[in-house]
Amino acid sequence: MQKYLDLLKEKGADLAVAIDVKTVKTAPWTVYRCRYGCDFYGKSHCCPPHSPTWKETQEMLDCFTVGILFRCQSMREITPFAREMSNMLFLDGYYKAMAFSSGPCRICEQCDPEHCRFPKLALPSMEACGIDVFATVRNNGIPINVIRAKNEQASYFGLILVE
């Protein structure tokens, strides 16, 4: 795994750690947060109600033991890094490699939620699939806080599952 952690850092992630997938927390409330707090709800192929449910995500997580959790200072970096790394893992023989992004997909200016035009580029966000990002990050000893002021620097996380 060290090869992939190092590659993520070389690309610009300021943190990349291997984690036990059992530390990934799912919860139904995350989808409600999308539904009642995000302008992308129902308007993106990668967001609820088009994304997997939290129960489906938990069932999928149960198929894995190892994950790579990484952090960037720009949300736009998460999807390309996660996608590229999961593809590399797959080609290196880790045929079970799945990736999650952060926040809504922004590949297209106008998304067609029913028929993604770029299925090889798009990734669902952890939140949209029912992953409690704050709990997951904290379960792995990484500090994370709610941004309360516009001048505070946000951190964005991606997750790659590997087996």
Q: In this predicted model, what pLDDT tens digit does every residue of 50-63 receive, in sequence order?
A: 889 999 999 999 99
Over residues 37-50, mean pLDDT: 82
Is cis: bond before 119, omega within 30 of 0?
Answer: no
Domain that holds residue 10: 2-162
Q: Provide the CA 73 distance to its chain's centre, in angstroms.
A: 14
Model-level pTM?
0.92
With a cut of 90, say whether residue 69 has pLDDT above it.
Answer: yes
CA of residue 150 relative to chain centroid, distance: 23
> What is the rounded average pLDDT of the residues 102-106?
83
- Alpha helices for the chain (secondary structure H): 2-11, 29-35, 54-61, 75-91, 133-139
Nearest alpha carbon to residue 78 among 55, 50, 46: 46
- Which residues, 6+ apart, have CB-to-CB distance to 141 below 8 Å? none
**Residues 12-42: pLDDT tens digits?**
999 999 999 999 999 999 888 888 888 888 7
Query: 112-156: per-residue pLDDT in tens?
Result: 878 888 888 889 899 999 999 999 999 999 999 888 988 888 889
How many domains in the chain?
A: 1
Q: Is the predicted pLDDT of residue 159 greater than 90, yes or no?
A: yes
What pLDDT was estimated at residue 36? 87
C-alpha dist (Å) from residue 87 to 6, 20, 51, 110, 160: 16, 20, 20, 26, 10
Written as one letter, the residue type at 1 is M
